[in-house]
Structure 1
Amino acid sequence: MAPRVLVSDKLSKTAVQIFKDRGVEVDYLPDLGKDKEKLLEVIGQYDGLAIRSATKVTEKVIAAATNLKVVGRAGIGVDNVDIPAASRKGIIVMNTPFGNSITTAEHAIALMFAVARQLPAADVSTHAGKWEKNRFMGVEITGKTLGIIGCGNIGSIVATRGVGLKMKVVGFDPFLSPERAKELGIEKVELADLFKRADFITLHTPLTDKTRGIIDAAAIATMKDGVRIINCARGGLVVEKDLAEAIKAGKVAGAGIDVFEAEPATDSPLFGLENVVCTPHLGASTSEAQENVALQVAEQMSAYLIEGAVSNALNMPSISAEEAPILTPFVKLAEVLGAFAGQLTEDPITEVEILFDGQPAGMNTRALVAAALSGLLKPQMQSVNMVSAPLMAKERGIQVSEVRRDKSGVFDGYIRVTIKTAAMERSVAGTCFSDGKPRFIQIKGINMEADVGRYMLYTTNKDVPGVIGEIGMAFGKAGINIANFHLGRDEEGGNAIALLYLDEPLTPAFIKEVESLNAIGQAKLLEFDI
C-alpha cells in the first residue's frame, strides 16, 4: 500500500505533484491545520504530515497519529512541533533549513536599513504631504559594528552581507569555530562583549530555554547608548516590554521586529513607538523561498517514505536510501546498548568507547554513535535525541571515541559500548540477526545471548545454587509472569548475571524485595524503546 501524506497548511501545488510523482498518496487540505479537533480526528490515517507554521503538532496530535512516520516542516522553525513527543514515538521531524535562509537574511538587512534611516515613518509623512527632512535624521551603516547572535545558516549570510557593507562584524555563537569565523571575515566574541561593542544587534538563533529572553532589561543596560536591535529569528528572544521601555528612555535608538512573543501579534508594547519597524513574520515571505521550501520538504518526505532515506532530520542523523535497510536495525541496537549502560550508571560518565566489529564497522558509524549516545543520556535527560546527543555529551565533558575493526568472533558483526566513571567501567555488547532484532551477547565481559524486551530486570549474584529458585518464587508469589530468563557467569562459582524479560514493569517495592534476596547483589529494572 502506498504511503499517505496530509498537507495541512498552504504549500505550493508543485509540492503536491512531487508527492504524487514519487508514488505517495496525498490529501491537500491547506486549512485543516487550523482546525485542531478535525486534525485529531483524521491524523491517524496518515504516514506523513507536511506543514508550515499554522499546524500545531502537539503531544495530543502525536498520540492520535497512530500511523505517522514523518513530519515535514516547510521552513526552518519547528516551534510548532513537539519534537520530544515525536521522538518518543519514533516519528522523524524534518525541516528545510536552507530553503529560506537567503530570504530571511535579506529581510534582516532590509530592517536594519529601515531602522537606520527611519524609512517607514518618512514614507508615511511624505505621503501625508509633509516635508520633514530635519525630523528624519538617520545614521550610516558603513563603519558601524554589527553584532550577530547566532552564526548558523542565516546568521552567516547576514555576516557576509554586513562585511560587504563595510561594517565591522562580530559574532556570538558557542559552535562557531575560529576557522569558520575567519572564513566569514568576522570576529568571534563572547555575548557580553558583543553587547558592549555593537551599534546594531541582529538575532539569528533558535528559541530554547537558554536563549529565551536573551535580550532583556539587564542585557540592554550593558549595550551602547543608541543601539539598534533587529529580530527576524524567533519571538521570545527579545523581552518586548523591556525593549519598549528602553526605546522610550532613549537607550535604544530603534528596532526592527519581524517576530513576536505571541503570534499573530495584534498587540505589543512595541506597537506605535517611534522608529520601531514591525512586520508580520515576513522573513521567509518571498515567492522564491516559499516555492523552494515546499519542493524541498516534499522531496525529503517522499525519499523517506519510499526509500527510507533521511535528510535534514532534527531527531536523527541523515541516512541515504542505499544504506537505510541495513543500517536501521543497527541504529536500534546501538541505542539499546547505550540505554542499558545509561540506566545502570548513576555516577557522572567521563568516557564512552564504542567498538564496531565486522559488519557495523563498514556502516555510517556517525549515526550509530549518535544512537548509542542518545540511549546513554536519555535516563538523565528525556528530551535528548540522535541529533542533540553528541553535542550534549561534549558539553558534559564526556570523551567519546570509536574503534572499528574487522570481524573477530563468531558473529558477522557486533557493537560494544564501554562507559567509564571515576569509580568503575562497564561494557555491554550486542548484535542483530537476520530478523533485524537487537540481542545482547555480552555484559560486563560475561557472554550471554538474550532478546531485548521493553521491560527487563537485570540482576547480579554469586554463582551459587538456588538463585533461580529464589527469584522464581518471589515472582510467583507476587503473581508476575517472566517471559524469558537468561543467565551468564564468568566462571564456576564466580560472578553471575541474569536478564529477565518481563510482560510489565515492576514496582520499586518489588525490586527492593528481589534485591533483598540472599544471593542477589543488585536488581535494576530496565526499560527499552522496543
Structure 2
Amino acid sequence: MNQYKVLVLDPISEDGIKELLDHPNYEVDIKTGLSEAEMLDIVHDYHAMIVRSQTTVTEEIIQYARSLKVIARAGVGVDNIDIDAATKYGVIVVNAPDGNTISATEHTMAMMLALTREIPAAHKELSEGVWNRKAYKGTEMYGKTLGIIGVGKIGFGVARRAQSFGMKIIAFDPYLSEEKAKEADIEKMEVEDIAEHADFVTVHTPLTPQTKGIVGKAFFEAAKPELKIVNVARGGIIDEAALLEALDEGQISGAALDVFEEEPPTNQKLLNHPRIVVTPHLGASTVEAQEKVAISVSREIINILENNTIVHAVNAPRMSENINEELKPFINISSHMGEVAIQLMNRPPLEIKLKYHGDLALDDTSILTRSFVANMLKPHLGENVNIINALYLLQEQDVTYKVEKKGQTHGYSNYLEAELINNDEKLTIGASVLNGYGERIVKINGFQVDIKPTKHLLFINHLDRPGIIGEMGHTLGKYDINIASMQLGRKDEGGAALLSLRLDQSVNDEAIEELTKIEGFHKVKQVDLS
C-alpha cells in the first residue's frame, strides 16, 4: 500500500480536507506562513501541496520537491504558482473552479441590490450621523431586463435568481444553444443588442483576448442611461477607462465592481466614484465556498495519486515518452486545426466529427482529439484549457463529439479531418503530415488547399474573376502587409473560390473592412495561430 505525504501551506478548512486527514494512506502536515527558505528545507519528500493565495510556489520550490506530483490551489486563480515550472518538472497543477459558484452567484445579486438601492452610500452617511432619506431613491429590479454576458454555471445561477425577482433575462454566450436558452427562459442576443436593451448587465466570462474589454466604449454608447453594470468575474472584461467616461458623461447610471484590471486597485477615481460600489474580490469569500474548494482539491489529490484520474488540471503534464513516434508530428497539426477551425466559424459548434484515416487510424489517437478540442476551446474559455481537461470542458458546453477511423486515405498515407456543425453553418477542415514537407492543411470546405500553418493566415471566400487578386494585393500593400505565400482553390472557372494567404503581419480591422468591399469578396477571415 502506497503512503503519500501532503503539505498544506495556507490556512484551509479542516472540514474541507477531512478526507485526506482521515485517509490511512495519507500523512497531512499543516505548516502555514513559511518563508521560501523554510519551505525549501522540508518540501523534498512531499507528494502533494495545497495552497490558497498567500503562498507563492516558485520554480526553485518545485525543483527541490523531488517527490512532488500535484500542486492544488484551493480556489480558482493560480497566479501564485509557477505553471511553466510545474509543467517542466511534470507536476500537475489543479484548482477548484466550481467551488465558488454559489458564492459568486450570491455576491453578484448582493452587488446588484447594493447598487440599485444605494446601500453603501446611505450606510456611510447614516453612520456619520446624517439622516437623509430624500437623497436615496432607489429603483426596483422587478420588471427590469438583465443582460448576462457569459452563461456558464454562475451566469445560469444569476439568471435563475434574477428571474425570482421578476426580471427578464437576455444573454450572450457563444456556446449557449437555442434549446438551452429556451428551456431556461432566456432570450439569446448579441453583445451589442444587450447594450441596447438591458437595464442591468452582469458579466461572467473568463478573461481572454475575445472577452477583454468586451464591455467598452461602443457598449456604453449604445446603452440606456439608466443601465447599471456588475463585474464579479475578472478584471478587464469591463474597460475601466471607458466605464469612468460613461459614468461621467451620463451614458450609464452605475457600476458595482468586485474585480479590477489591477489588483489591488490603485485608481482612486474609480474606487471613490460616487456611482460605483466596490468590494475587494470577495466573490469566493464565504465559509461554505472555502470548504467546498478544499473538499474538491482533496478529492482530486486522492484521485490523481491513486487512480491517475485528472479533472481540473490547469496545466498539461509532459507527454508520455511512450507515445508512438509516428504520432508525434500529428499533435501539432491537430492543435493548429482546432485553432484554424474555430476562427473560421462565425459561432462555436454544437457538434464535432473527427475522422482519422490511413496508418493513423491504427494508433491511439485520443491525444490528437484532445489537442484539437483544447485549441478549439481556448479562444472562448481561456488558457486554462489543455489536453487534460479539454473533453470535460467540451461536455460542459453541451458540445457532442464523435470519432471515426478508416483505412482509406484518398491519396495520403495519413489524413485527419474535422467537421464542425452548428445551427447556421458547417465547416470541414482536413490535414496531413507530408514526408519532407511537414504539416499541411489540405482541405477547407471542399476546396483543395496546401497551407503550412504559420502565425498569420488570411482566408477569403469569393467569386473568381480577372483582376480580383490584384485588387487584394493592392489593398494589403496599402496597409504594409506582406504576402509570404498565396494559393487559390477553386472548383470551376468564374465560380466559388478560396484564397489562402500566409502573411508576415497581422491584418487590422480597417484593412479587413476594405477587403470585404472588393467586388466578389464575401467572407474575409483572419486566423492568428499561437
TM-score in same-fold range (> 0.5): yes
- Measured in 2, the distance between the counterparts of 1:335 and 1:228 equals 55
Deviations along 1:146-183, one digit per CA (max 9) or x if unpaired, are 11111111111001111121111111111222222222
Q: SS in structure 2 opposite 1:14?
A: coil
Q: Tell me whether 1:339 sits opposite 2:328 in the alignment.
A: yes
TM-fit CA distance, 1:135: 1.0
Q: SS in structure 1 opposite 2:263?
A: coil
Question: Who is 1:419 aligned against?
Answer: 416
Structure 1 unaligned regions, length at least 5: 318-327, 409-415, 429-530
Q: Tell me whether 1:115 sits opposite 2:110 in the alignment.
A: no
Q: Is the contact made by 1:338 and 1:373 (CA closer than 8 Å) also made in structure 2?
A: no
Q: Which amino acid aligns with 2:221?
A: A
Question: Who is 1:444 aligned against?
Answer: none
Q: Tell me whether 1:47 sits opposite 2:36 in the alignment.
A: no
Question: Who is 1:25 aligned against?
Answer: 27
Question: Who is 2:242 aligned against?
Answer: 242
TM-fit CA distance, 1:66: 4.2
Deviations along 1:463-498, one digit per CA (max 9) or x if unpaired, are xxxxxxxxxxxxxxxxxxxxxxxxxxxxxxxxxxxx
Q: 1:266 to 1:303 in 2, by over 3 A?
A: same
- Measured in 2, the distance between the counterparts of 1:309 and 1:42 equals 27
- Measured in 1, the distance between the counterparts of 2:169 and 2:163 equals 7
Q: Is the contact made by 1:201 and 1:229 (CA closer than 8 Å) also made in structure 2?
A: yes
Q: Is the contact made by 2:99 and 2:296 (CA closer than 8 Å) also made in structure 1?
A: yes
Question: Who is 1:304 aligned against?
Answer: 304
The 5 A counterparts of 1:126-145 are: 126-145=126-145
Question: Who is 1:514 aligned against?
Answer: none
Q: Is the contact made by 1:111 and 1:277 (CA closer than 8 Å) also made in structure 2?
A: yes
Question: Who is 1:14 aligned against?
Answer: 15
- Measured in 2, the distance between the counterparts of 1:176 and 1:371 equals 23
TM-fit CA distance, 1:77: 3.2
TM-fit CA distance, 1:27: 2.4
Q: Which amino acid aligns with 1:3?
A: Y
Q: Tell me whether 1:203 sits opposite 2:200 in the alignment.
A: no
Question: Who is 1:472 aligned against?
Answer: none
Q: 1:2 to 1:376 in 2, by over 3 A?
A: farther
Q: SS in structure 1 opposite 2:135?
A: coil
Q: Which amino acid aligns with 2:4?
A: P
Question: Who is 1:325 aligned against?
Answer: none
Question: Who is 1:224 aligned against?
Answer: 224
Question: Alpha carbon RMSD of aligned pairs, Å?
Answer: 4.3
Q: SS in structure 2 opposite 1:114?
A: helix
The 5 A counterparts of 1:69-468 are: 69-83=69-83, 86-265=86-265, 268-315=268-315, 338-342=327-331, 353-354=355-356, 369-370=369-370, 385-387=386-388, 402-403=403-404, 418-419=415-416, 425-426=432-433
Question: Who is 1:466 aligned against?
Answer: none
- Measured in 2, the distance between the counterparts of 1:423 and 1:303 equals 37
- Measured in 2, the distance between the counterparts of 1:53 and 1:373 equals 30
Q: 1:245 to 1:103 in 2, by over 3 A?
A: same
Deviations along 1:349-385, one digit per CA (max 9) or x if unpaired, are 889534899xx99x9x97773167669999xx99972
- Measured in 2, the distance between the counterparts of 1:275 and 1:227 equals 12
TM-fit CA distance, 1:212: 2.6
Q: Answer with 67-76 or 348-357: which moved more.
A: 348-357
Question: Who is 1:3 aligned against?
Answer: 4
Q: Which amino acid aligns with 1:339?
A: K
TM-fit CA distance, 1:388: 6.8
Q: Is the contact made by 2:56 and 2:80 (CA closer than 8 Å) also made in structure 1?
A: yes
- Measured in 1, the distance between the counterparts of 2:429 and 2:130 equals 75
- Measured in 1, the distance between the counterparts of 2:42 and 2:168 equals 53
Q: SS in structure 1 opposite 2:270?
A: coil
TM-fit CA distance, 1:306: 2.6
- Measured in 1, the distance between the counterparts of 2:113 and 2:356 equals 51
Identical positions, percent: 38
Q: SS in structure 1 opposite 2:289?
A: helix
Q: SS in structure 2 opposite 1:291?
A: helix
Q: 1:41 to 1:262 in 2, by over 3 A?
A: farther
**Length, aligned pairs only:** 396
Q: SS in structure 2 opposite 1:110?
A: helix
Q: Is the contact made by 1:354 and 1:401 (CA closer than 8 Å) also made in structure 2?
A: no
- Measured in 2, the distance between the counterparts of 1:14 and 1:346 equals 41
TM-fit CA distance, 1:238: 2.6
Deviations along 1:204-225, one digit per CA (max 9) or x if unpaired, are 1122233233333343233222
TM-fit CA distance, 1:40: 5.8
Deviations along 1:22-57, one digit per CA (max 9) or x if unpaired, are 22222212323xx45655665554322212223344
- Measured in 2, the distance between the counterparts of 1:191 and 1:335 equals 45
- Taking structure 2 as the reference length, the TM-score comes to 0.63
Q: SS in structure 1 opposite 2:259?
A: coil
- Measured in 2, the distance between the counterparts of 1:315 and 1:66 equals 19
